[in-house]
Structure 1
Amino acid sequence: MAPAREKGGPAVALAAFVFYPLTLLLAKRRMEGLEHIPATGPALLVCNHVSYLDPVYTAVFVHRARRVPRFLAKASLWKIPVFGRVLQGSRQIPVSRGSAEAGASLEAAQASFADDGVVVIYPEGTITRDEDGWPMAARSGAARLALDVDVPVIPVVHWGTKSVYDHYRRRFRPSWRTTITVKAGPPIPMDDLRARLADRGPRPLLRETTERMMTAVRELLGEVRGEPVPEVTRGTRGPESRSTEQ
């Protein structure tokens, strides 16, 4: 018997009512690795980010695993009429970038873990600027969460969303000839890093933790794309950043 679906309330039901048909209309949809999303209890999902459509597909992916996703997202989205109320009602986590309140988003994520929530974060902080769609260097927020709280850390990748909506080229091309894939991998080993948290300075450990997570994301993306993974992470964004930007 399948586990009971996590209850999300009216806001989550409304989002599901909109997102499910939308993901089916924009392109063919393929979702793999749902078994890696824990049926109960907290989890941290670390994802690549190639298009602003990614969260729509991530949300449906997690919901199909019978869980409710809680995204770390730009606080400005809460100001959008109706949409902001949906974000609030579904208990998403606002991130105030570049302000003294930025650390509050990590505290809110930790509170979500305490409530057995599934938290979703895009460690790069924005959609990748890599021309070939590989992840850029990531920020430190995901690593901080992964080290501070003993929860499963699950890599999740998207591929195909950029073919439908390419933000940088201002191109929107829905097509059933396009396949959008969302795939989760097995949990990333974290116990050894957490055990060393008290023995090493936070900055080197944050870099190592970030690289381990993003290596898992890149390798999973390479599987989905059927291509070799670049040896060097592209982009100038470094994991040592103090920002908690999603």
Structure 2
Amino acid sequence: MAEIVYPPVIGLARTLFRVMDYRIDVAGTEHIPRTGGAVIACNHVSYLDFIFCGLGARPAKRLVRFMAKESIFRNAVAGPLMRGMHHIPVDRSAGQASYAEALAKLRAGEVVGIFPEATISRSFTVKEIKSGAARLAAEAGVPLVPMALWGTQRLWTKGRPRDMGLRHVPLSILAGEPIAVPADADLDAVTTDLRARMAELLDRLQKGYPDAEPGAWWLPAHLGGTAPTPEEAAELDRRKPED
């Protein structure tokens, strides 16, 4: 597969990171397979998460193909880039085609990135997750790698004005140990385990974050922030799903 678009996009992103002096910490990259297919399942707190989840795989020299909502591919600017990087459009009214495309990429030895919460978590905790990541890993016979991001919500998240001019922001990326998912696995049990691992990784990042500010809007309520509780966030999602 020709990689005409992805490498220059990575180069541009890294230049931007240096200009903005983002303090990026990437850990656990030894858990990303250097060869062969893999599913990365990451938490979702920002519209920028696919950039930083992909960055978490770069020490392993892997390019991640993300499953993303189809509307992004219709955008005049983002669409050609997403297609050029061979990401996977997801039409929620006809999801089987995107599933089949992701499965084919995994069987071809590629890494597929999924945000199994499906939408951004307004509470900045791990929401209930869907079973698609576990199902793909089982059917393709590839490892399932949990990952967590933290700090990206300060730049652009749901229900808040974006602040792409914010400089010197710590951004944390942590990959966990892969989960082996046999073909006959109990997918509900695997999904429960995956969510627990994602939550544990996120908790580690949140508790070790260097810029913790009691009362900050971008901190979860259980850590002294003013973000909605999970229950409040669920109600907001029901009232304003596209906010």
TM-score (norm 1): 0.78
Please state how far the C-alpha of 1:206 moved relative to its aligned partner: 3.4
Distance 1:226 1:8 in 2: 41
Which deviates the most, 165-174 or 62-71? 165-174
Which of residues 11, 25, 29 is equivalent to 2:24? 29
Residue 54 of structure 1 and its aligned partner are, at CA, apart by 1.0
Q: Confirm or deny: 8 A CA contact 2:147 2:198 kept in the other structure.
A: yes
Equivalent-residue separation in structure 2 for 1:23 and 1:96 (angstroms) = 31
The 10-residue stretch of structure 1 (154-163 or 7-16) with the greater mean CA deviation from structure 2: 7-16
1:144 alignment partner, one of 124, 135, 141: 135
1:123 aligned partner, one-letter code: P
Q: Distance in 2 between matches of 1:24 and 1:215?
A: 33
Tell me if the contact between 1:165 and 1:172 (Cα under 8 Å) persists in the aligned partners.
Answer: yes
Task: Out of 178-187 and 142-151, give the one that drifted further.
Answer: 142-151
Deviation, structure 1 residue 32 = 0.9
Q: Are residue 214 (structure 1) and residue 195 (structure 2) matched?
A: yes
Tell me the CA shift for residue 142 of structure 1: 1.5
Structure 1: any 5+ residue segments left out of the alignment?
1-6, 197-204, 238-246
**Match of residue 202 from structure 1:** none
Task: Return the alpha-carbon distance in structure 1 between the equivalents of residues 46 and 16 of structure 2.
Answer: 15
State the shift of 1:147 in Å. Answer: 2.5
- Any idea what the Cα deviations from partners look like across 1:50-75, whole Å, max 9, x if unmatched? 11111111222223321111000111
RMSD, matched Cα: 2.3
Whether 1:195 aligns to 2:181 is no
Opposite residue 64 of structure 2, the aligned amino acid is P
| SS of equivalent to 1:165 | coil
Segments of structure 2 that go 5 or more residues without pairing to the other structure are: 209-221, 223-228, 235-243
- Quick one: distance in 1 between partners of 2:158 and 2:143? 32
Equivalents in 2 of 1:149, 1:163: separation in Å?
35
CA distance in 2 between counterparts of 1:157 and 1:234 reads: 18
Q: Report if the CA contact (8 A) 1:159-1:224 is conserved.
A: yes
Task: Tell me which moved more, 115-124 or 218-227.
Answer: 218-227
Indicate which of 90, 94, 98 corresponds to 1:95.
90
Residue number in structure 1 paired with 2:3: 9
Partner SS, residue 104 of structure 1: helix
Amino acid aligned to 1:139: K
- Separation in structure 2 between the aligned mates of residue 23 and residue 215 of structure 1, nearest angstrom: 31
Structure 1 residues 111-139: Cα deviation after superposition (integer angstroms, max 9, x where no partner): 00121000000000011022xx1111112
Contact 1:44 1:146 in 2 (8 A): yes
In the comparison of the two structures, how many residue pairs are matched? 213
Q: Relative to 1, partners in 2 of residues 1:167 and 1:22: Cα closer, same or farther, differing over 3 Å?
A: farther
Does 1:180 find its partner at 2:171? yes
Give the C-alpha shift of residue 39 in structure 1: 0.8
1:226 CA drift (Å): 2.4
Equivalent of 1:170, from 161, 176, 179? 161
State the distance in 2 between where 1:186 and 1:62 align: 14
Q: Which amino acid aligns with 2:47?
A: Y
- The alpha-carbon deviation at position 81 of structure 1 amounts to 2.0
Residue type at the aligned position of 2:48: L
